[in-house]
Amino acid sequence: MEILEQTIISLKPRQRGFHIITQDILKGLAKLKECESGILHLQLLHTSASLTINESADPDVRSDLFAFLSKAVPDGAPYFNHVLEGDDDMTAHILSSLLGVNLSLQVRSGRLILGTWQAIYLGEHRNYGGERQIAALLMGQRKA
């Protein structure tokens, strides 16, 4: 197995919530089509957003996930001390830790292996999160 590509993928600013970013990831990987079999590792370079995989067909999944997590980890909870950047500050850090900032996906024949209804989500947990960066490492064997 060799390193086929190591890059930073920039994501435009998005509103708070869950966003499908699968196409952004694919566009950011110039060497993916050259990979016969391998692993793509993604690491979000932020502590107030997250990466996860979930439903790609019904947008209600994203809004329901956001609604549930907003109740589970409310903004401005009176027991939060870290609120330097606003009521959503500590909330964002907790959600980032709960959902995670890393994903590893298998690659076969130049394509990500995702289930029929699966997509890569960016969880934006700040009201004004700004541009996000993802470090991508593609390791594998080149097509013959």
| pLDDT value at residue 12 | 98
pTM of the shown model: 0.96
Residue 32: pLDDT band with limits 50, 70, 90: very high
SS3 33: helix
The ranges assigned to domains in the chain are 2-142
Which CATH code, of 2.60.120.460, 2.60.120.260, 3.40.190.290, 3.90.950.10, is assigned to 2-142? 2.60.120.460
Express each pLDDT in 2-24 by its tens digit: 999 999 999 999 999 999 999 99
Size of the chain, expressed as the number of residues it contains? 144
| Alpha-carbon dihedral sign for residues 132, 123, 125, 136 | negative
b/e 45-73 (16+ beta carbons within 10 angstroms → b): ebebbbbbeebbeeeebbeebbeebeeeb
Residues paired with 42 in a beta bridge: 103, 136
SS3 1: coil
Express each pLDDT in 48-88 by its tens digit: 999 999 999 999 999 999 999 999 999 999 999 999 899 99
The C-alpha atoms of residue 84 and residue 68 are separated, in whole angstroms, by 25
Q: Which two tokens stand for residue 82?
A: 């870290």
